[in-house]
Structure 1
Amino acid sequence: MARKSTPPKSNGKPAGNGKGAGKAAEKPTVTKPEEAVRRPRVRDARPKIERAALELFVNVGVDAATTREIAESAQVSEGALYRHYKGKDELALALFMETHNRLSAMLAEALGGSGSLDEKVHAAVAAYCALADEDFLLFSFHLVSLNKYLPYDRRREDDPVSITERIISGLMDAGVIPKGDPALKAAMALGVVMQAGQNKIYNRLPGPLSRHAPALARAVLAVLKST
């Protein structure tokens, strides 16, 4: 004898034994992408940002580097970068001017002090090389960025070139060195140490720059005393 099948209930719902069998499954929790990469806030992020930026600026250039790459390299958020700088261009200019202004103060102190011409030049070149060796990454960025950022530094009395020109002009007026064009002599004298710095950046000059300070100072003196 055939077994009778049980007809469905009038409400059309399937029969079930467990509680909540008819309830829809709970939706899975989805993590937003920005939450997944959010970094903890760094108390003082500026030094890390500046260091990471310097490495990228020197290695790939300011134009190629991005704020995201700088932030990732510094292990901070982009927001941390923007809390200190409006963008990478302001950051790059600030890093350039940091060295530029230190060079101004160093030249004014070394060349404007007491002593003979030879003593002043040796002191100035030694100070220049010491500044380079102290933080060669920052110094390198200044040298490779001169053409890009020097136009932002309008001619003023206390910029490195103006200081050098003024001191050379005074030496000419005092009869310490032969008469000539102070601007040309300043360019030639600064070129001695700056080109040496460039060669050091590209590994064409061995050791710390201070090792070569005496030879560089003698070359600068030869320029100043030339007719």
Structure 2
Amino acid sequence: MTDEGNREGAGPLTGGALTRARVLDAAARLIGTVGLVKATTKQIAREAGCSEAALYKHFRDKEEIFVRVLRERAPRLAEAIAELPARAGQGTVREHLEAVVLVAVPFYRQSFPMAGGLLASPELLAAHRRRLDNAGPHHVSSRLADYLRAERRLGRIADVDPDATAMLLIGACFHRAFLEVFYAGEGPADVLRPGALEDFARETVRALLGGIEETAG
């Protein structure tokens, strides 16, 4: 997952930057295999090919590593959502919402192994919550609601509750990601419908915008 030689306009990572990137990559791999609680800093350092002392030059503790993995190694959901309100009135609402789905599902899919360990440890969860201050996961749906509210003011969507609509879309993405992680390709053939993520995005947004109530006449 390291972008050592693939960063646009920049050379390969070296020195401390390379060590930091390798630590994050190693942490992401271990959290996905052994879980957050069992992934110790010693294991992460060994997987990254550095000493534990070198690891602590870049991160205060495992909690900070977890936060940085989410922010730098997972699909950038928060950033994608934060940009939406400024795009109200541009393009189509359908295109914007489908783009959200295409980022949100991979984000939640990648986050589940990390979040599972976090939720299983009340102490770690409390520490994580304090460190986030007010920048918690609720911002995903609230910022999406801000975008929908702006589109409603422009008359581009119906007079529906933006907060409820945002929760419906994000909830659908969350459940889709959960099914993918839970079954890991070993579930019933019809467990994921629509099968392809692009089809899921298109049909979910279509149902959300069009509704399912039969029209009169």
Q: CA deviation at 1:103?
A: 1.5
5+ residue gaps, structure 1: 1-41
Q: CA deviation at 1:77?
A: 1.1
Identify if the C-alpha distance between structure 1 residues 71 and 170 changes in structure 2 by more than 3 Å, giving closer, same or farther: same
AA aligned opposite 1:164:
L
1:48 aligns with 2:45: no
TM-score, normalisation: structure 1: 0.61
Q: CA deviation at 1:112?
A: 4.1
AA aligned opposite 1:177:
A
CA distance in 2, matches of 1:151, 1:169: 29
1:216 aligns with 2:194: no
Report the equivalent of 1:18: none
Q: 1:194 aligns with which of 160, 170, 174?
A: 174
CA distance in 1, matches of 2:82, 2:211: 19
1:177 aligns with 2:158: yes
Larger radius of gyration: 1
Q: 1:63 aligns with which of 37, 55, 58?
A: 37
Q: What aligned pairs does 1:26-37 form with structure 2 within 5 A after superposition?
A: none
Q: 1:89 aligns with which of 63, 73, 89?
A: 63
Query: Which one has a larger percent helix, Structure 1 or Structure 2?
Result: 2
AA aligned opposite 1:218:
R
Contact 1:111 1:120 in 2 (8 A): no
**Which gives a bigger RCO, structure 1 or 2 (Cα 8 Å, sep 6+)?**
2
Aligned residues: percent identity?
Answer: 23
TM-score, normalisation: structure 2: 0.63
Identify if the C-alpha distance between structure 1 residues 95 and 194 changes in structure 2 by more than 3 Å, giving closer, same or farther: same
Report the equivalent of 2:98: 122
Q: CA deviation at 1:219?
A: 4.0
Q: CA deviation at 1:120?
A: 2.5
Query: SS at 1:45's partner residue?
Result: helix
Q: CA deviation at 1:47?
A: 1.8
Aligned CA-pair RMSD: 3.8
CA distance in 2, matches of 1:78, 1:163: 38
Contact 2:84 2:144 in 1 (8 A): no
